[in-house]
Amino acid sequence: MIGSARRRLLIALLFLLPSLVGFLVFTAGPIAFSLAMSVTDWALTKHNPLSDTPIRFVGFENFLRILVGDESHLFWDYFGNTLFLMIGIPIGIAGSLGLALLLSARVTPTTRQGRTMGALWGVALTAISCAGVWASTTPGGATTLAGAAAPAARSTEAGLTDLTAHEVQRSRSRGAVLATAALGVIVTLGLAFGTVFFRTIFYLPSLLAGVALFLLWKTLYKPRGGLINAALGPVLDGVQAAVGATPPALWYAMGLLVWGAGLALCARVVLVGASKLRFGDAGLASFLGRLGLVAALGATVLGAGFVLVQLPARSLLPSGFAPVSRGDALDAAREVASSVPGADAEELRLAASALGDQSRVRDLIAALTGAAGASPESAGVVRRAVMNRASRVREGLTSGEGLAAPEWLVDSSWAKTALIVMGVWAGLGGSTMLLYLAGLSNIPPELYEASAIDGASGWNRFIHVTWPQLAPTTFFIVIMATIGGLQGGFEQAMVMTQGKADTIVLAYYIYNIAFTDQFQLGLASAIAWVMFAMIFAMTVLNFRLGSQLTNE
C-alpha cells in the first residue's frame, strides 16, 4: 500500500518535473541571480573576459545611489512619469464598466425578421448619411473648372491654383463619404446582430499585437498628416472663431464659475462622507473612496477652469495686449518694408522705435499700418509680421495663424497625455470589459426586481445593487491594473517616442542602465528590486483597502 502511494507520488512528480525545472531555471534562478547582482558593481564594460577587473561587493551602495544618491533625481523623475501614465487606469476602468453596462442590455434581435428589419434600417440610414455628406462637402465642379479655365478672367497660375484646391476638396469629400460609409456598416451590423456584434468590435483591439498597435497610433499622432490633427483642425478653428468673437471677460467668468461649482460639489461630497462616517452609516474605506472621487473630480474641474481662463490669451491668436520686444518690432518693420511696395523703410523704423522697448501688438499694428500707407494689402502684411513676433508665438504657445494642434509625441507637454489616451482606448474593450460582463451576468436578477418594487431609480439601482455586487471584480481589476501600470510603459516609450519628450518610465530606465548606459547590471538589478518593493507595498495597500470595501 505504501509502495503504491509512493509510486503515484513519483509519477505525479514526473509529470510536474518540466514545470518545476522551467520555474527554477527561468524564474527562481534569475530572481536569485538578480538579487545577488544588485549588491555588486557588475558592469559589462569593466567586468568581461577581456578585463581582469574583479566584481566588487558593494552592499547597499546601489540602493543608496538610487534613492538618495547621484541617480536619485533620475529615478524619482521617471517614477513620477510612471505614476502620471497611471492616471489612465481609473479612466479605463470606469469606461470599461460603462461599456459593460451598455453591452449587457438585451437588445439583440431574436428573429430573422428582426435582424432583416434592423439591417434595412441601417442601410437606409447609411445611404441618406452618405448622400448628405457628399452634397455638403463636394465643391461645385463645373463652376470652379470654368472659372479656372477662363483666360480672360484669371491667369493660368490662378487657374491651376483653383484646380488644385478643387481636387483637394474633392479628395476630402471622398474621404468623408468613405468614413461615413464605414460607420454606417458598423451601425447596420449592430442593428442586425445587436450586442453580440458590438462586443466583438470592442474586443478586437485586444487581438492586435502591442507593437502593431503602437505603430498605428504613432501614425495617427503625426503632427502633419496624422488623422487626429486633421480632425482637430476644424474644431480648433471653430473654437478660435468663437473666442475671438466674444469678450475675454466672458471666458474668465466661465472659468471662475466652473471652479466655484467644482469646489462646492467637492465640499458636499466630503461633508456627506464625513457625516456618514461619524454616525456609522459608512466605514473608513468608503470615506477614502469619496476622497479619491473628490481628487479625480477636483483635478478635472481645475483643468477645465484653467482651459477656459487661458483661452483668450494663451491658446488663440496673440491678443492686442500681448507684448512685443523692441528688437522684434524693428524686425517686423523691416519685413513690412520689404513686402509692401512703396513703403518707406526709415518711416517704418521710426514708427516701431517710438513705441519704446516693449510695445503691445495692437499699438505696433496701428503704428506700422499708418507708416505703410494704411491700405488693405499693407494692413494684412503688417498684421502677419507683428503676430509672428508676439511673445506667445516666440514661446511656442500658439502660432501666428491661431490655435495649432499639438505635436503629440514631440512636445513634452503632450507626449505623456498622448500615451494615456492611447492606453485608455486600448483598454476600454479588453479584459477589463470582459470581467465586468462576467460580473454583471452573475448578479441575481431578484435583486433588481426587489429594487424596482421599492421604486429605486436607475442610478440608485446601480449604486446600491450593481456596484456592491461588482466590488470583488473591481478589487481584482484594480490590483492587476496597479501592478501592470507600475511595471508597464516600456513598449510604448520604446516604439512611439524612443524615450524622448519626457516619457521614460521605470521599466525603460532599467533597460537604459542595463543595456545602453555602460551595461551596469548591478545598478539595474537594484532598480528592479526597488521597483518590486514599491509594487509589493502598493499591492498590500490595495489589498487592505480593497478588502474593507468588498466587505462593506
Question: By mean pLDDT, which of 105-109, 174-178, 196-200 is the weakest?
Answer: 105-109
Residues 418 and 485 in one domain: yes
| 185: pLDDT strictly greater than 70 | yes
Q: Which of 348, 367, 394 is the last residue of a domain?
A: 394
Q: Which residues form the domain of 352?
A: 323-394
The residue type of 334 is R
The confidence score (pLDDT) of residue 11 equals 87
The residue type of 492 is Q
Give me the phi and psi of 359, to 5 degrees please.
-115, 170
Grid cell at residue 86: 497611471
| 340: pLDDT strictly greater than 90 | no
Residues 447 and 537 in one domain: yes
Q: For residue 76, what pLDDT band results from cuts at 50, 70 and 90?
A: very high
Residue 55 located in a structural domain: yes
Distance, CA of 193 to CA of 118 (rounded, Å): 8
Residues 551 and 426 in one domain: yes
Mean pLDDT of 523-529: 93
The confidence score (pLDDT) of residue 145 equals 36
Question: By mean pLDDT, which of 17-21, 27-31, 352-356 is the weakest?
Answer: 352-356
Q: What is the pTM of this model?
A: 0.70
Q: Between the CA of residue 65 and those of 58, 59, 73, 448, 551, what are the distances in Å?
A: 11, 11, 10, 57, 42
SS3 annotation, 234-253: HHHHHHHHHHHCCCHHHHHH
> Which has more pLDDT, 140 or 437?
437
Distance, CA of 63 to CA of 93 (rounded, Å): 34
The DSSP code for 456 is -
Distance, CA of 218 to CA of 112 (rounded, Å): 42
> Which has more pLDDT, 35 or 307?
35
Radius of gyration, alpha carbons of the chain: 32
Residues 500 and 439 in one domain: yes
Q: For residue 393, what pLDDT band results from cuts at 50, 70 and 90?
A: low
The confidence score (pLDDT) of residue 532 equals 92
Q: Are 470 and 104 in contact (CB under 8 A)?
A: no
The confidence score (pLDDT) of residue 79 equals 92
| 64: pLDDT strictly greater than 60 | yes
Question: By mean pLDDT, which of 2-11, 72-81, 348-357, 372-381 is the weakest?
Answer: 372-381
Domain count along the chain: 3
Q: Which of 165, 193, 221 is the last residue of a domain?
A: 193
Q: For residue 529, what pLDDT band results from cuts at 50, 70 and 90?
A: very high
Q: Which of 169, 193, 217 is the last residue of a domain?
A: 193
Residues 465 and 350 in one domain: no
The confidence score (pLDDT) of residue 151 equals 41
Q: Are 370 and 355 in contact (CB under 8 A)?
A: no
Distance, CA of 497 to CA of 218 (rounded, Å): 9
| pLDDT, tens digit, 9 for 90 and up, residues 368-392 | 888 877 666 677 788 777 777 665 5
Task: State the number of CA atoms in the 13 A half-sphere of 320 facing the CB.
Answer: 7
Distance, CA of 154 to CA of 141 (rounded, Å): 17
Residues 125 and 188 in one domain: yes
Residues 178 and 93 in one domain: no
| pLDDT, tens digit, 9 for 90 and up, residues 271-323 | 988 888 788 776 666 677 677 778 778 878 888 888 787 776 654 444 555 67
Q: Are 277 and 283 in contact (CB under 8 A)?
A: yes
Residues 53 and 163 in one domain: no
The confidence score (pLDDT) of residue 406 equals 81
For residue 323, give the 3-state DSSP assignment: strand
The confidence score (pLDDT) of residue 313 equals 60
The DSSP code for 47 is S
Q: For residue 179, what pLDDT band results from cuts at 50, 70 and 90?
A: confident
Residue 401 located in a structural domain: no
| pLDDT, tens digit, 9 for 90 and up, residues 466-514 | 888 888 888 889 888 989 898 888 888 888 888 887 889 999 999 989 8
Residues 381 and 423 in one domain: no
